[in-house]
Structure 1
Amino acid sequence: MLDNIKIRLQYILPKQGLTKFAGWFADKNAGFVTQWAIKLFAKAYKVNMNEAQKSELTAYATFNDFFVRALRDDARPIVVLDNQLAQPADGAVSQLGPINDDLIFQAKGHNYTTEALLAGQYQLAEKFRGGDFITTYLSPSDYHRVHMPCDGLLTEMIYVPGDLFSVNPLTAANVPNLFARNERLICVFETPIGSMIQILVGATIVGSIETVWSGCVNTQREGVIKRWTYPTAHSEGAVFLKKGDEMGRFKLGSTVINLFEPNTISFNSSLIPGYATRMGELLAVSVNDEKQTDESTGS
């Protein structure tokens, strides 16, 4: 009964208004009110501040400063072999596996299409037909910066306006097409293993989605799809990121979805829905080099 009430509320609550207000407050230095909110949040969600570069809560002037806190340089080692892909974020695996034709599994009884997720970009979606996906949910207590699984050259970025449903497991199990209807930022990279897409999905109370190359992309929320293309390698303005580099961040939220072309990667066999991820740990290996990795790790 309680779960049904929570889901119904998400359909009727003014999610845009709540999110706008939360973003406004989170960016304000409201003195003791801000400090009270940070301390209450850190206690409620058992946030591990020992990993942060600034471990004292009073070091953060705004809630957003605290929420997107940087970690110590040694807090998240990155897998080192060239054929190993790194986890992009702290969180938990929501779902992962093959893209069945054009269908991505959301939860029991719910699938959505790659084309819908990519806002109708059918030619782009076709590249990932029969490929692989992983959806990672970032809870409020997690580190909220998102990093690169592998080296990548940014080729395009698409901002897609949409709903702001929560993206927690309860909502994923009950709201059809959740990730294809929520606000999201689609980032397309060319990598040593082929094309890879990393999608930052917005949610209720997510004040902003940012990237390291463009800053905040959803400040105005104008309700229109926006698309940017980027220069080729070694050209002025090209955006190239190495494995483990920060690529974006959430200010309150959310979920990361990665798409890989067919026959390019094999996921870490330990990954199952609910598995707690840590940025930098093994996400997958490139298929062509899987045997090499097994031999080098002795597995």
Structure 2
Amino acid sequence: MSLTLANRLFIALQHLIPQRWLSERMYRLARIQWRPLKTLIIHNFARIYQIDMRLAQEPDLDAYPSFNAFFTRALRPDARPLDPDPAAILCPVDGAISQIGTIDAGRLIQAKGHDYSVESLLGLAPGELHPFDGGRFATIYLSPRDYHRIHMPLNGRLDQMVHVPGQLFSVNGVTAAGVPDLFARNERLVCRFETEAGPMALILVGAIFVGGIETVWAGEITPPHSGLEPKRWDYEVDAQCIRLARGEEMGRFNLGSTVILLLPPGHAEWAPGLAPGAVVQLGQRLGTHAPAGASG
């Protein structure tokens, strides 16, 4: 993407504004339950972004107690059918593909002319090993009009969760093209699972005005947007371990952001035709996988 003067000014402004302060104010505004204000916000948002409430489990805009409740609304059970093939890797969200491909020499493509390391994305210590070099990655951008719950691409057992503090730049195409290492600089939540295709990581990337990231097992992780060091939770493999089925909800965003899916080498292939800009929906086939014990 060639950056215009307006694009460059937009990026420069993001370096100057108080990102955390604005995101924390948005967090509070989104949870106000005073009827006149929350009704005004919800109705205007639905009109501007042309939200199809026929897909929602609760189609009545006035039934939502706050903007956040509306924004993270559940869909009808039949709104997003899952690909029935058990070998299919499901798309975890509604959105648009920013980038998709192979992790080459430990690096992922961010935008044309920009790449970044898996090591930095996962918040690893220098030299710390990971299982994704040579594997597959998909970066999916969620716009404000999209469904904002994140679901499992595969059956998985939760191994680890890491909250990595960082900046809160916008994650749209303009910023991705103009801010080096964007996804490794922004605040993010790294969730690592063991699946039938081997290790899998789902990275929930924060952004400006994304006042909350949460998971179904731990609740809200952000805010507060505080601390300088990553915080890590390791989950034991026992009778009480956390297992989630393919298609099951694993987390959600408050306002738009990005999800990055990582898979190991030799066990996943993306479906033909998927490319940057492609619109995708929760439950559709992103690709196929072979069992982790299979060769190839």
TM-score normalized by the length of structure 1? 0.93
User: d(CA) in 1 for partners of 2:38 and 2:129?
Assistant: 43
Tell me, yes or no, if structure 1 residue 242 matches structure 2 residue 261.
no
For residue 125 of structure 1, report the CA deviation from its aligned partner.
4.8
Q: What amino acid is the match of 2:234?
A: T
Give the conservation status (yes or no) of the 8 Å contact 1:182–1:203.
Answer: yes
Of the three residues 127, 131, 136, the one matched with 1:127 is: 131
Tell me, yes or no, if structure 1 residue 225 matches structure 2 residue 230.
yes
User: How do residues 1-299 of structure 1 correspond to structure 2 at under 5 angstroms?
Assistant: 1-121=5-125, 125-223=129-227, 224-232=229-237, 234-236=238-240, 238-287=241-290
Q: May I ask how many residue pairs the two structures share in their alignment?
A: 287
Aligned to 1:293: none
Structure 1: which 5+ runs fail to align? 290-299
Distance 1:20 1:262, change over 3 A: same
For residue 253 of structure 1, report the CA deviation from its aligned partner.
2.1
Give the conservation status (yes or no) of the 8 Å contact 2:24–2:223.
Answer: no
Query: Root-mean-square deviation (CA), in Å?
Result: 1.4
User: d(CA) in 1 for partners of 2:68 and 2:246?
Assistant: 25
SS in 1 for 2:154: coil
User: d(CA) in 2 for partners of 1:71 and 1:39?
Assistant: 18
User: d(CA) in 1 for partners of 2:126 and 2:55?
Assistant: 42
Give the conservation status (yes or no) of the 8 Å contact 2:71–2:254.
Answer: yes
Question: What is the CA deviation profile of residues 106-129 of structure 1, one whole-angstrom value per residue up to 9, with x for unaligned ones?
Answer: 001111001010112467653111
User: d(CA) in 1 for partners of 2:35 and 2:128?
Assistant: 47
Deviates more, 1:38-47 or 1:280-289: 280-289
Question: What is the CA deviation profile of residues 189-213 of structure 1, one whole-angstrom value per residue up to 9, with x for unaligned ones?
Answer: 0000100000000000001100000
For residue 30 of structure 1, report the CA deviation from its aligned partner.
2.1
For residue 219 of structure 1, report the CA deviation from its aligned partner.
2.6
User: d(CA) in 2 for partners of 1:103 and 1:61?
Assistant: 43
Question: What is the CA deviation profile of residues 155-193 of structure 1, one whole-angstrom value per residue up to 9, with x for unaligned ones?
Answer: 000000100000011111111000000000000000001
SS in 2 for 1:217: strand
Distance 1:122 1:153, change over 3 A: farther
Q: What amino acid is the match of 2:27?
A: G
User: d(CA) in 1 for partners of 2:9 and 2:290?
Assistant: 45
For residue 288 of structure 1, report the CA deviation from its aligned partner.
6.5
Q: What amino acid is the match of 2:273?
A: S
For residue 145 of structure 1, report the CA deviation from its aligned partner.
0.2
SS in 1 for 2:226: coil
SS in 2 for 1:58: helix
Between the two proteins, what is the percent identity of the paired residues?
Answer: 45
TM-score normalized by the length of structure 2? 0.94
Distance 1:279 1:124, change over 3 A: farther
User: d(CA) in 1 for partners of 2:31 and 2:129?
Assistant: 36
Give the conservation status (yes or no) of the 8 Å contact 1:185–1:200.
Answer: yes
SS in 2 for 1:284: strand
For residue 222 of structure 1, report the CA deviation from its aligned partner.
2.1
SS in 1 for 2:130: helix
Distance 1:124 1:47, change over 3 A: farther
Structure 2: which 5+ runs fail to align? none
For residue 85 of structure 1, report the CA deviation from its aligned partner.
1.1
Give the conservation status (yes or no) of the 8 Å contact 1:118–1:125.
Answer: no
Q: What amino acid is the match of 1:225?
A: P
SS in 1 for 2:178: coil
Q: What amino acid is the match of 1:229?
A: D
Distance 1:124 1:74, change over 3 A: farther
User: d(CA) in 1 for partners of 2:190 and 2:58?
Assistant: 31
